[in-house]
Structure 1
Amino acid sequence: MDVIESLHSRSDDTTPVPRHVAIIMDGNGRWAKARRLPRIAGHKQGVEAVRRVSKAAREQGVEVLTLYAFSSENWRRPEEEVRDLMGLLRHFLKNELKDLVAENVRLRVIGDYRALSGDLVAMIDDAIAKTSVNTGATLVIALNYGAQAEIVAAARRLASAAQAGEITADAIDEAMFSDALTTHGLPPLDLLIRTSGEQRLSNFLLWQAAYAELLFVDTLWPDFDAAALADALAQFGRRQRRFGGL
């Protein structure tokens, strides 16, 4: 799909709305620290932010929302925190699946989530299966995800296909490489937001962000809401995207 085709307009005006928005959800720990609360309190509020922002994205016309929930580097965090994060993921899947089905939302997971515990993998597979026929918005959760590993895996798949004679090396182009990534079939990434004031991609959607608009906001993730998302979309709408042209 051409990157320019990834935009559409609001029904009430001509402001372009990004079809695909991704968010690096940062700041849970700092939110808790500022309130002298344990880090888990910040993560719990972060889950609440996921709920309201996911709903707001659908209401504001975003077709695909991709959230960076757990990176492959997050395993370096203290064992207790990782355990708490996995517990919150279980809680989210258990409590949100019914609403995802009812609201016609398709769930998709990118990253090596099968490295998680068996019960979590089963819950994720069940949620994906039960929402697979939904035709509304798509919620993509990045779990145990790292963009560099994703790119390497795609390169290996294409190399194996070439070695087996299924494709030729000369046939490999940007489109074929994109189709080998875990985000295959999704609209091109239009807008990538990072909360909490940090200004780096942290190994998230490196290939997909090639022509995405980047927006770094100071708001900590637990405080990010529908109004903050609307402001981000408005900023996106005011930008001129040339994709290398004039």
Structure 2
Amino acid sequence: MDGNGRWAQMRGRPRLFGHQAGARRVREIVEACPDLGIRYLTIFAFSTENWRRTQVEVAGLMTLFRRYIQKEATALLDKGVRVRFIGDRDRLDPKLVGMMHALEEITSGNDLVNLTVAINYGGRDEVARATKRLAREVAAGRLDPEDVDAETLAHFLDTCLLPDPDLVIRTSGEARISNFLLWQSAYAEYEFTPVLWPDFTAAHFAEIVGNYSARERRYGAVLS
């Protein structure tokens, strides 16, 4: 969901103004999912690299996350959205972590849309943490090293309960993946749009999903 800061600066406003607008856009995109046949949506809210931003921006984002959970919890529950969070929670404020856990719990019975929010997430960090957990299982004798393969490692990832993504969309014209779902996106289709995230409407979303549906996916094979 890239482009919040630039969107705000283009309007002579602070970057946090753009993040607030971006947070409001999330609701529209989530609500568009059922009509588009999308059951799983993952949004990249805060990366492991985003800690390098100014203290003011980081603190503002953390406050925005707390407010979003408070404001949207009832609507998400009522609309059949199940919320999960991925990423390393150890560095996050305990109050925010508690709110994240509570939202996961109260929406756990929903299944219309599975919304996954990546906070303090990085693809490399996720694989490193998964590898540590796997290594502990091997060291404890609960896992034979000879049995370790790609499928085994996937069971230790943050996304172990989720399907791999079919389509990855990046807004704002940046053409890179920025450490997002590196393992899971091995065969995902990519779409890069110049639209800044606060301007990314359900119509933009539907157009990209429509373009995706026309693609032929080979998964490394040659189709006749």
Is 1:142 the counterpart of 2:79? The answer is: no
Which residue is equivalent to 1:15? Answer: none
Is 1:171 the counterpart of 2:128? The answer is: no
Does the 8 Å CA contact 1:67/1:142 hold for their aligned counterparts?
yes
Once the two structures are superposed, residues 153-180 of structure 1 have per-residue CA deviations (whole angstroms, 9 ceiling, x without a partner) of: 1111112211221111111112111111
The CA distance in 2 between the partners of 1:156 and 1:114, in whole Å, is 15
**What SS does the corresponding residue of 2:31 show, helix, strand or coil?**
helix
Is 1:65 the counterpart of 2:25? The answer is: no
Is 1:45 the counterpart of 2:21? The answer is: yes
The CA distance in 2 between the partners of 1:176 and 1:200, in whole Å, is 28
The CA distance in 1 between the partners of 2:127 and 2:148, in whole Å, is 14
Counterpart residue type for residue 207 of structure 1: W
Is 1:236 the counterpart of 2:216? The answer is: no
> Per-residue deviation at 1:61?
1.3
Tell which deviates more after alignment, 72-81 or 50-59. Answer: 50-59
191, 197, 201: which one pairs with 1:221? 197
Does the 8 Å CA contact 1:64/1:138 hold for their aligned counterparts?
yes
The CA distance in 2 between the partners of 1:97 and 1:143, in whole Å, is 17
> Per-residue deviation at 1:59?
2.6
Which residue is equivalent to 1:206? Answer: 182
Greater relative contact order (CA < 8 Å, ≥ 6 in sequence): 1
Counterpart residue type for residue 155 of structure 1: T
Counterpart residue type for residue 125 of structure 1: H
Matches within 5 A, 1:183-194: 183-194=159-170
Does the 8 Å CA contact 1:195/1:219 hold for their aligned counterparts?
yes
Once the two structures are superposed, residues 47-98 of structure 1 have per-residue CA deviations (whole angstroms, 9 ceiling, x without a partner) of: 1111111111233111110000000111110111111111111111001100
Once the two structures are superposed, residues 97-129 of structure 1 have per-residue CA deviations (whole angstroms, 9 ceiling, x without a partner) of: 001111121110000124211211111111111
**What SS does the corresponding residue of 2:186 show, helix, strand or coil?**
helix
Q: CA RMSD in A?
A: 1.0
Counterpart residue type for residue 112 of structure 2: G
**TM-score, structure 2 as length reference:** 0.96
**What SS does the corresponding residue of 1:210 show, helix, strand or coil?**
coil
72, 80, 85: which one pairs with 1:109? 85
Instruction: Give the total of aligned pairs.
Output: 222
> Per-residue deviation at 1:189?
1.0
Which residue is equivalent to 1:128? Answer: 104
Counterpart residue type for residue 118 of structure 1: P
Which residue is equivalent to 2:30? Answer: 54
Counterpart residue type for residue 140 of structure 2: A
**What SS does the corresponding residue of 1:150 show, helix, strand or coil?**
helix
Does the 8 Å CA contact 1:57/1:229 hold for their aligned counterparts?
no
The CA distance in 2 between the partners of 1:36 and 1:193, in whole Å, is 27
> Per-residue deviation at 1:135?
2.5
**TM-score, structure 1 as length reference:** 0.88
Which residue is equivalent to 2:60? Answer: 84
**What SS does the corresponding residue of 2:185 show, helix, strand or coil?**
helix
The CA distance in 2 between the partners of 1:60 and 1:240, in whole Å, is 19
The percentage of counterpart residues that share the same residue type is 45
